[in-house]
A and B are shown apart, each in its own frame.
Chain A
Amino acid sequence: MRILAELREQGRAQDMQALVEHLPYARFLGITVDRKGNEITTILPFSDHLVGNTQLRALHGGVIGAFLEITSIVQLLFDTSCERLPKTIDISIDYLRSGKAVETYGRAIVTRHGRRVANVRTEIWQESRAAPVAASHGHFLLTPA
């Protein structure tokens, strides 16, 4: 992927904010990435076009799934700085509570990183990290550049 190669050449291989700005769908959702040292948190500000249930003003289940998937991939790229976007093989999502009309945060852990496949666990939350909105685990195919 051009943007990943460019960032690496500029010595910014871990600049995940620059990466998400280049992904049209991540930009459409409004996702940003906050980095503190060797830790990153993805942020999804609330917006009306993310709503799935107007009565509850709850986030759409698909938005929650997409945010989990992007958080997983961003963490994987942050940890490994590979030059291609990892491909999702499968992702399994647990919906734990409804997503309210507030900012949502995401963090992921790469639980196993093999030569070809990585396993990633991800959680997203809103007001309290102890009360996650959803969790996922996924397998991602790492394609050599």
Chain B
Amino acid sequence: MSDLDDHLAHIPHAAAIGMTLVSRGKHSCVVRVPYAAHLVGDPDTGVIHGGVITALLDNASGMAVRSEPDDASEGRSMATLDLRIDYMRPAQPREDLIAEATCYRMTSNVAFVRAIAYHDDRTDPIASSVATFMLGTPTEPRT
């Protein structure tokens, strides 16, 4: 479990967009992406690209599965089955993004995760997502 804290540093794309772990709970985690110029989607407004929010929600959702205690996923690899994101309002320029993900159900094969992305007020989300993960997939790539 302790290696979850520096887990993000070992994911090249997570490190490339500056993702850090803020906190984690029993079935949840909070992850932050600081505002940066290379993450901008619309140069006129300076707003962060939706794709960054996708990467953040995807990563936070996966980590929420990993942070389960009594972890049925412990030592098991997993693969994202699907991810649906609703964009509720535009992100604001020059503000950090935070994602909060909760694994609300885990069966023997599948984990179900909800997540939201926001700036500083979690009651006013920028985007929300639902994701499912298949547990226990092969760790070697299929040839």
> Contact residues of A with B, CB < 8 Å?
1-3, 22-29, 48-56, 58-63, 65-67, 69-70, 85, 87-95, 97-98, 100
Q: Which of the four size classes fits the interface of chain B?
A: 35 or more
Q: Are B43 and A22 in contact, CB atoms less than 8 angstroms apart?
A: yes
Contact of A25 among B11, B44, B49, B59 (CB under 8 A): B49
Q: Which residues of A contact B50 (CB under 8 A)?
A: 66, 69, 88, 91
Q: Are A62 and B79 in contact, CB atoms less than 8 angstroms apart?
A: no
Q: Are A51 and B11 in contact, CB atoms less than 8 angstroms apart?
A: yes
Interface of A is mostly: mixed
Q: Are B40 and A24 in contact, CB atoms less than 8 angstroms apart?
A: yes
Closest to B49 in A: A25
Q: A2-B44, A51-B12, A60-B14 are in contact. Are A94 and B82 (CB under 8 A)?
A: yes
Q: A25-B39, A60-B58 are in contact. Are A87 and B87 (CB under 8 A)?
A: yes
Contact of B55 among A2, A66, A70, A92 (CB under 8 A): A66
B42 at interface, CB cutoff 8 A: yes
Q: A24-B39, A28-B39, A49-B16 are in contact. Are A93 and B44 (CB under 8 A)?
A: no
Q: Are A93 and B42 in contact, CB atoms less than 8 angstroms apart?
A: no
Q: Are A62 and B58 in contact, CB atoms less than 8 angstroms apart?
A: yes
Q: A23-B43, A50-B12, A66-B54 are in contact. Are A93 and B82 (CB under 8 A)?
A: yes
**In whole Å, how far is A123's beta carbon from the nearest beta carbon of chain B?**
14
Closest to B16 in A: A49
